[in-house]
Structures are given as C-alpha cells and as structure tokens.
Amino acid sequence: MTFLVKICGLSTPETLDVALDAGADMVGFVFFPASPRHVSFETARSPASRIKDRARKVALTVNADDALLENIVAALKPDMLQLHGHETPERVAAVRERFGLPVMKVL
C-alpha cells in the first residue's frame, strides 16, 4: 500500500522547507480567514514559488465561491483544491470541471 503525506497550514518559508525536507508529497495553504493558519494570496505566493516539483500544492478552502477560487488559482497555481465546507457532490463536480484541477473533498 502506498501512502501520500500532505502537510497543511504552512505559512512561512521555514515551515515549508521543513515539510519539503521531510518528504511531504503535498503541501497545503489555508485560505480561510477564521483559521489561525490562514494565509493571504501574497503570503502564499512567496513560499509556494519555492516548491517547484518537490511536492504538489494544495489550496484548502471552506465554502469558497467561484470568485475566491479564481483568485486562489491565479495567485497560487495549485495542483489540487481541497474543499472543507458543506459543498455538495454537485458543487465538487462543478469546481473540478470549472478549474480543471483535482478536488479533494473533506467529509
């Protein structure tokens, strides 16, 4: 059995480097203002540019509308979107189709 490791809530170059050096397959950036690990587009852009091909970038959101997702995709250029809210299966499918990215839905 193969496992993938995702480390989420990264907000500084230092924490990102630790995750990458530890071999994380995916690194996550939280775009949810109520979270203590929330990052702005500008804050996420700098560490995310250091990833290159070392890991996949995941943008974590909670009940995000299309406008917010568009801004996140433009700023971060994630490899995957992670939906943490009350999104329906139809909404998950619509997000996947609209943005052309894999979607991870947290249950």
pLDDT in tens, 69-96: 999 999 999 999 999 999 999 999 999 9
Q: For 32-62, how does the pLDDT look when each residue is reduced to its tens digit (9 = 90+)?
A: 999 999 999 888 887 777 898 899 999 999 9
φ/ψ of residue 19, rounded to 5: -65, -45
pLDDT at 43: 85
Query: Which tokens sit at 46?
Result: 């700098």
**Residue pair 86/64 in contact by the 8 Å Cβ criterion:** no
Mind listing the pLDDT tens digit for each residue in 2-38? 999 999 999 888 999 999 999 999 999 999 999 999 9
Indicate the domain borders of the chain. 6-105
Kindly report whether the global pTM for this prediction surpasses the value 0.85.
Answer: yes
d(CA 19, CA 61): 20
pLDDT score, position 49: 77
Task: Evaluate whether the domain defined by 6-105 bears CATH number 3.40.50.720.
Answer: no
